[in-house]
Structure 1
Amino acid sequence: MNRLLYSLLLILLLPLLLAYLGWRALRSPDYRGRLGERFALTLPRTRAPLIIHCASMGETLAALGLIRTLKRQRPDMPILVTTTTPTGSAQVRQHLGDLVDHCYLPLDLGPVVARFLGRLTPIGLVLMETELWPNLVHHCHKRQIPVVLANARLSERSARGYGRFPALVGPMLGQLTAIAAQNSNDGARLVTLGAAPAGMTDCGSLKFDIAVDDAEREHASAQRLQLMGERPCWLAASTHPGEFELALAAHKTLLEHFPDLLLMLVPRHPEQFDRAAELTRTAGLTLARRSAGGPLSPQTQVLIGDTMGELKTLCGMSDIALVGGSLIERGGHNPLEPAAFGKPVLMGPHYFNFKEIGDQLKQEGVMLVVEDEHSLVQALDQLLGDDSGRQRIGQAALQFMARNRGATERQAQVVLQALGRTEA
């Protein structure tokens, strides 16, 4: 009954959703021409695939290693990667190309989901992190399609939210075939909400398996030298409105002590590139855009990171990385990418989406929490003035990452075992 009420609510909200998609289509060409995928009217030709749903850019990047591992172990198995956003779609195409098929995941309406599954006849479904859709899970369970929640995480805050709807969430979690949890705390919260303990495996986070090889380090160093020479540089990564202003204000203050300092300001969403540039000009700072290419003028004070798929390289090019979504109440973004390059990490107080990882990084001395503009300036000023301290933090970051690797193989085994039980 609760799932039916959920479905009815979605139907009532459908006009608003269509209006939203139309509005986004006017603002972004990536939303145009693919509305049929949202209703399972336009589908890939592949049949009997393993569907892996990654939602947006963050989940897609985290899943790349898992997808490649599954494809290596089962080369005969077709894989369909679904997303819900253009940024996620772009990452699938850029990093996976012809290795997989791709489309948007249809809306979670019963008839739409039924058509989607009926046409594709998937052998299994992998949902990344917290991408839980009641009708999708229900119809998979009804068709005996195994469903695995991979890289599963559930913060205390999210658990409280899900806990308000026990009659909807409990049966949905109970229908999952297996869960590969990032840690035991996430697993315990999922079990409390209704997941079966027997299907739970503590695997660690896929994000620890970020691959940074010597060639990538050398590439980042060469790009830095070509772009800015020997100038000191800090990165404000995956930032949102409200954080642009804080980063720019902090940078203006820091320029008094470090006049050749460069800020690389990277908005989380492409539609914010122009807004970040406008705020930079309003702050009286000279800017350049990464998309323009070429070396920077010595007078350039801010580089707007307006390219896609380059954040990893920019982490390697920086001296210190502030990870956004954390100075405002968005829950924070992945702090492990700069850590994988051996960079000191700064985050605001709102990193609840990465609480366990963030707390571990704090304990290792790799991450500092900054509360506001003043503490951000203090932390950056101290780190920029202490080369040997940054090197010590960098070594601690690399050692921490090395100790926690291996989640990709463990989670791949959870997926394959779930598929094997069904095939048997």
Structure 2
Amino acid sequence: MNIPYLLYVFTGSILFLLLFPFFLLYSLITGKHRKGLLQRLGIYINVPAASISGVPRIWLHAASVGEVKVAGAIIESINSQLPECEIIVSTTTTAGHELSIKSFKGNVTFVYAPVDFILSVRKSLSAFKPDILVCIETEIWPNWLVQAHKMGIRTMIVNGRISVRSIRKYILIKQLMKYTLSCIDAFSMIGKEDAERIRKIGAPLERVEVNGNAKYDLLVRQTIPEINLKMKGIFNLKGGETVFVAGSTRKGEEKIILDTYMEVLKDFPDTILVIAPRHIERTHQVETIVREYGCQCQLFTELKVAERKSPVVIVNTIGELQDLYSIATIAFCGGSLVPLGGQNVLEAAVWGKPVIYGPYMDDFLGAKDLLEQFKGGIQVENGHDLTEKVRYYLLNKKEADSIGDLARRAVMSNKGAAGKHTAVICKHL
């Protein structure tokens, strides 16, 4: 038995047993994290695990909203190749869980993922008895993966990505990671850099392959004219309006966006600003900031029941950002002007929009590099640079259209990854 793994099990178990009573009390008092609490412990009272009869039985783990979207592309591909299979989708976050229920129909069971406590993961795996456990992107949980391997369940990482920030942390626990990764049967990674990084932390060379980003397939399928028409209706757009969409913004970026917006208004006084904070619990905070700038604003949910009258709209829903990019004249992807790794620039690019991002794109280097390879990306260094670039492309529509077209071509050039990842899953069933 691997000593680092034994230490992980021992210390993790002690910490879990010591801290769980306090967490439970906090949850009961505040109501937070109460949803799915028993499922996180491996107890499935209202989930008919025994009645799941499809063969093979595939467990897909998608941590949150982003991974759930990837799961959608892979599930569609799996169903076309294995129509009799049963799929279990687990998520870590409430937002991810709700989006998965909303998005997937048919032979899919929805659960919360167990905490990485050895008894919880064994109880979960015993309840559902999957033929294969598929973790999406960077979900590497030692107990879950090691215990699945010990129980004879095949394990995989698909659409795998290892960011620059992640690998720094993993290297600190390399011996634990090496043992955990030795229990994984296949690594179907997004890009060469991801493959190199996972090998660097211990993945067996012969089990690693590169198959692209399944999110591209989903992005392309979701760019349909009906979505654009729907969003135009919600925003009461008549045609010709300038719309600046700032997606997945983080703390510290909204003021930068609003500084830019105030400058844009000098040339385009009717510009509509759409701010979609990365975490919707910050909605009230963002509202306060907008009003400090003297701007009227409405919440996105209000537009679904009443006419838009304010120039600034704050998005307070989950899972609609890509659709919102369809009405953008120009887009900005957040988490990139502050050192938080960026966001997926391709959600705007697939609509053929000029997309701007800051220098901090460590978590999405593959997407950034793809855009820049096609000369379809616009990087800025700071708030002043953002203002200059936004004004430039709004004043030079032909150049904006051209760079948006190049951005879309970049996404279209990488279709087909979901099928490749699914082929790897099928090979190990």
Please report the TM-score for the alignment, with normalisation by the length of structure 1.
Answer: 0.92
Match of 1:7 among 6, 9, 12: 9
Equivalent residue number for residue 95 of structure 1? 103
Equivalent residue number for residue 407 of structure 2? 397
Equivalent residue number for residue 38 of structure 2? 36
Tell me how far apart the structure 1 counterparts of residues 118 and 427 of structure 2 sit (CA, whole Å).
28
Equivalent residue number for residue 81 of structure 2? 73
Structure 2 residue 335 is the aligned partner of structure 1 residue 332 = no
2:266 alignment partner, SS class: coil
For 2:175, give the aligned amino acid.
Answer: A
For 1:329, give the aligned amino acid.
Answer: P
Structure 2 residue 237 is the aligned partner of structure 1 residue 235 = no
Equivalent residue number for residue 359 of structure 2? 349
Q: Is this contact kept in 2: 1:66–1:408, CA < 8 A? A: yes
**For the structure 1 residues 200 and 33, does the alpha-carbon distance in structure 2 shift closer, same or farther, using more than 3 Å as the test?**
closer
Q: Is this contact kept in 1: 2:73–2:215, CA < 8 A? A: no
Match of 2:263 among 253, 257, 261: 253
Report how far residue 355 of structure 1 moved. Answer: 0.7
Aligned residue-pair number: 416
2:268 alignment partner, SS class: coil
Tell me how far apart the structure 1 counterparts of residues 79 and 20 of structure 2 sit (CA, whole Å).
35
Report how far residue 185 of structure 1 moved. Answer: 1.7
**Contiguous gaps of at least 5 residues in structure 1:** 420-424
Tell me how far apart the structure 1 counterparts of residues 44 and 100 of structure 2 sit (CA, whole Å).
18
Q: Is this contact kept in 2: 1:126–1:147, CA < 8 A? A: yes
Match of 1:51 among 53, 59, 67: 59
**For the structure 1 residues 20 and 239, does the alpha-carbon distance in structure 2 shift closer, same or farther, using more than 3 Å as the test?**
farther
Cα deviation code 1:42-84 (max 9, x no counterpart): 2532347311000011111122110121122112111000000
**For the structure 1 residues 210 and 24, does the alpha-carbon distance in structure 2 shift closer, same or farther, using more than 3 Å as the test?**
farther
Equivalent residue number for residue 126 of structure 2? 118
For 1:70, give the aligned amino acid.
Answer: I
Tell me how far apart the structure 2 counterparts of residues 91 and 196 of structure 1 sit (CA, whole Å).
34
**For the structure 1 residues 283 and 185, does the alpha-carbon distance in structure 2 shift closer, same or farther, using more than 3 Å as the test?**
same
1:79 alignment partner, SS class: strand
Tell me how far apart the structure 1 counterparts of residues 360 and 24 of structure 2 sit (CA, whole Å).
29
Equivalent residue number for residue 159 of structure 1? 167
For 1:181, give the aligned amino acid.
Answer: M
Match of 2:422 among 403, 412, 415: 412
**For the structure 1 residues 215 and 311, does the alpha-carbon distance in structure 2 shift closer, same or farther, using more than 3 Å as the test?**
closer
Match of 2:112 among 98, 104, 122: 104
Q: Is this contact kept in 2: 1:217–1:341, CA < 8 A? A: no
Report how far residue 398 of structure 1 moved. Answer: 2.1
Tell me how far apart the structure 2 counterparts of residues 191 and 156 of structure 1 sit (CA, whole Å).
14
For 1:223, give the aligned amino acid.
Answer: M
1:37 alignment partner, SS class: helix
1:201 alignment partner, SS class: strand
**For the structure 1 residues 22 and 237, does the alpha-carbon distance in structure 2 shift closer, same or farther, using more than 3 Å as the test?**
farther
Equivalent residue number for residue 308 of structure 2? 296
Equivalent residue number for residue 329 of structure 2? 319
Which stretch of structure 1 is more off in the superposition, 54-63 or 328-337?
Answer: 328-337
CA RMSD of aligned residues (A): 2.1
For 2:401, give the aligned amino acid.
Answer: Q
Equivalent residue number for residue 168 of structure 1? 176
Report how far residue 350 of structure 1 moved. Answer: 1.1
2:326 alignment partner, SS class: helix
Report how far residue 92 of structure 1 moved. Answer: 0.2
2:391 alignment partner, SS class: helix
2:135 alignment partner, SS class: strand
Once the two structures are superposed, the pairs formed by residues 360-371 of structure 1 within 5 Å of their partners are: 360-371=370-381
Tell me how far apart the structure 2 counterparts of residues 416 and 214 of structure 1 sit (CA, whole Å).
25
**Contiguous gaps of at least 5 residues in structure 2:** none
Structure 1 residue runs of 4 or more that deviate by more than 6 Å after TM superposition: 24-29
Once the two structures are superposed, the pairs formed by residues 205-220 of structure 1 within 5 Å of their partners are: 205-212=213-220, 216-220=224-228
Report how far residue 130 of structure 1 moved. Answer: 0.7
- Percent identity between matched residues is 29
Equivalent residue number for residue 194 of structure 2? 186
